Amino acid sequence: MTNNQTILNDFISKQPFAAAQTLERLSSKAVADFIQTVSLAKCVCLLSLMNARKAADCFVFLPIKKTTEIIEKGEVHFITAVLMLLENTVQESLLAKVSKEKKAILKLKMDHEPNSVGALMETVLSVNKEMSVREAVQIVKRNSEKEDFYLYVVDLEGNFEGIVRLKELLLAKKNASLEDLMISKILKLSPEIPIKSILNYNSWLEYHHIPVVDKFEKLLGALAYKRSIEFTEDISNSSNEKVMETGSALGELYRIGLTGILKSVSN
């Protein structure tokens, strides 16, 4: 092992989140090429700390054998999030290569009941709670195609901690921590809950999306109110209409303002 490799491995071991965020700035192919030069444990660690979309894009450039090893070694919530972003044919080809035990667990996570929270939840931008505002803003800018209203804060193991409103993030001091901005007291949904049972929750009046976690508090994604009512037959309830009218107007203003703020944020 060269001196540079020793230094790099030491950096990954001591600062895995910083290393992962640095890699996210590279092309997916470059990331795939690099992670093949480190141990499997470090490879899984780095990918699991990246945005799920970035990790999924990297999978495309990895040899099947390497991808299979990552799936076997990786945490279920991380692997599930990545697989769900891949084409069905790619999902099936990868699952066919892993052990029966791991495949069964992953399929259980992926195959939610129709019209359940898990079936309709969306992937989200997640960040570590120890990050600074400056670091989080860079992640938002690199994922500007996503029209998220919030950042979802997790610990290094993927456990849900809270949310940060994007507008507050972009207006905050760059050296502030996410914990200073984080809203920790927020409703969390289980993926097994039927959609119809959560339409009248009061939380919808304050939040456009509600986080979804598993029984171990691992962040799985978030459910959008608009997405949920598209799969129900009756949307005449007055409280539903109030949320939709308010959410539509504020949402449009929010997106316009957010776009302007993003353009004004310096690197």
Mean pLDDT, contiguous 10-residue spans, the chain (267 residues)? 66 82 86 91 90 89 94 86 88 92 82 76 85 89 77 90 92 89 94 88 91 91 84 50 49 45 43
Amino acid type, 207 = Y
Q: How many Å apart are CA 186 and CA 48, to the nearest integer?
A: 25
Q: Supply the DSSP string of 135-159, one letter for each residue.
A: HHHHHHHHTTTS--SEEEEE-TT-B
Q: What is the pLDDT of residue 2?
A: 59
DSSP code, position 203:
G
Q: What is the pLDDT of residue 205?
A: 87
Candidates 134, 127, 94, 125; CA nearest to 110 is 94
Q: What is the pLDDT of residue 11?
A: 79
Cβ within 8 Å of residue 201, ≥6 positions away: 187, 210
Q: How many Å apart are CA 31 and CA 37, to the nearest integer?
A: 10
Which residues are registered as beta bridge partners of 108? Answer: none
Q: Alpha helix locations (H) across the chain?
A: 3-14, 16-23, 28-35, 40-48, 52-61, 64-73, 76-83, 88-95, 100-110, 117-120, 133-142, 166-171, 178-181, 225-229, 238-264
Structural domains in the chain, sorted by start: 3-111 (1.10.220.30), 120-264 (3.10.580.10)
pTM here is: 0.52
Q: How many Å apart are CA 123 and CA 111, to the nearest integer?
A: 16
Copy the structure tokens of residue 50.
């990246």
Candidates 9, 54, 16, 5; CA nearest to 32 is 54
Order of strands across the sheet that contains 150-154: 126-128, 150-154, 160-165
Amino acid type, 48 = S
Candidates 215, 221, 197; CA nearest to 121 is 221
